[in-house]
Amino acid sequence: MARWENWDPPKIEKPVARFEWGTSYAALVHEGAEGGGVIYPGRPWTDYAIAQTDFERVFVAAFEATQSLQIAFQSIVDAFEGACYEAMAAPVWYWPTITRRYNGEIVPPGARDIRDLDTLYRSLTIEYQEGFNYA
């Protein structure tokens, strides 16, 4: 029988990081909408970011490098944050009509990014809730 006398296992908690884009129109951009005879296609950048991120690889690499669960969880948050910014900047979001953006740019129908004046892009806040202890 094996016996470990002085093993101090890592405390496993359920860390929560809440991502929120604080503009009034974030949900409309993400989910899309229909009203007044206009259809606004959804541009779900978070879904795109999830699909583009290998969370397991990020976690394992961080944990192997540091032996810290907290740093590994933080690495996942950082990777997802970066992937969301990349998703918003990627010209992959279909829009059916010509648009004059607030920045003055005229964009033809087709694939485009969702940055415009970057108000939505810069409105991200990440709130760390229970389970995040920085060592």
What is the model's pLDDT at position 38?
83
What is the model's pLDDT at position 82?
98
Return the number of other C-beta atoms located less than 10 Å from residue 83's C-beta.
Answer: 21
What is the model's pLDDT at position 134?
54
Give the tokens for residue 62.
Answer: 């961080």
**For 72, phi and psi rounded to 5 degrees?**
-65, -40
- pLDDT beneath 50, residues of the chain: none
What is the model's pLDDT at position 31?
96
What is the model's pLDDT at position 35?
86
What is the model's pLDDT at position 70?
87
- HEC string of 56-121 equals HHHHHHHHHHHCCHHHHHHHHHHHHHHHHHHHHHCCCEEECCCEECCCCCEECCEEECCCCCCHHH
**End-to-end Cα spacing for the chain:** 34
